[in-house]
Structure 1
Amino acid sequence: MLTIQAQSNIPTDFGMFTVYAFSEHEEDWNPHLVWVAENTDFSKTVNVRFHSECITGEIFHSKKCECGQQL
């Protein structure tokens, strides 16, 4: 069973999002994150993108990595 550990509203250049941190165990301090746009209509099919963390590409903008560009 999944447990939501935290949630927060985050304003971005793309609009307002609610971010949920969840895991299978409450003691797991490396949760998965879900970003949900405020106008998401869950009565329709919702597109989902899985993205792996890449510190060198997303934080340091390494020229050897295109992870940040994929977002």
Structure 2
Amino acid sequence: MAEDARVEARRRELLAKGYPERVVQLGMTWAVNSAEGQAAYFAKDDLKKKAEFQAQFLSRYLEDASTWVKTMAE
């Protein structure tokens, strides 16, 4: 799944920069769960729209998670 690849790439990027693994994992979990929740809310019962929304939301939530990880590590 493309989302899994994006999450894994961001996770590796943050770990390579030296951020704590536990903090990075929490951020990635939050991003994925938030994207799934928002997609389900906006798509209602349309599975095709849900997948589209999830991909869109995930991009934003991965950015937000990265910011959070950096802040928590300071």
| Interval of TM-score (by shorter of Structure 1 and Structure 2) | under 0.3
More helix, by proportion: 2
Q: Which has the larger radius of gyration?
A: 1
Taking structure 1 as the reference length, what is the TM-score of the superposition? 0.26
